[in-house]
Homo-oligomer: A and B are copies of this chain.
Amino acid sequence: MPLYEVLTERDALSPADRDALASGITAIHVAETGAPPSFVHVAFSTVEPGSAYTAGRPSRPLVVRGQIRAGRPPAVREALLRRISALCVETTGVPESDVLVAAVDVPASWAMEGGQIFPDPDPDAERRWLDGQTPTAP
């Protein structure tokens, strides 16, 4: 965690768009929260063209739904939302009005990565957790 899931119509984003969004979202999350980059996951989900709707009519939203560890101050969440929204507009050319971003709290203890319950958002806890991870051979 965090896991940011980006949802668009299929073919709305090029591979270069995805690379840029993934790098940008990761950099923003690290800058605003201090979390290690290796904690940040971004996945791009798609729906079939014509199967997203707003106000009951076809639309082409770009949705970013983040699940972040609970405990961040409100100003941090707001910075994540503002910067990720702006990144989406700059990177993809999608109109700002079609960009939806949410950052939803999940308590760290509700998630496991690499076989260990996730640490609270605290540098010491994160360092101990990283020390407990067994690196996987590439």
Contacts and interface: CB of A to CB of B under 8 A. Distances in A.
Nearest to A115: B96
A34 interface: no
Nearest to A114: B97
A76 B23 CA distance: 36
How many subunits of this chain does the assembly comprise? 3
A46 B10 CA distance: 12
A122 interface: no
A44 to B, nearest CB: 4
Interface string A75-111: 0011001100110010000011111111111100111
Given A1-B102, A51-B44, A115 B134 contact: no
Contact of A96 (B96, B97, B114): B114
- Chain A, interface size: which category? 35 or more
Contacts of A134: 96-97
Given A23-B56, A50-B15, A53-B26, A136 B97 contact: yes
Given A48-B46, A134-B96, A22 B53 contact: yes
Given A3-B102, A100-B112, A103-B110, 9 more contacts: A22-B53, A26-B53, A37-B56, A41-B100, A43-B61, A44-B51, A96-B134, A99-B114, A101-B111
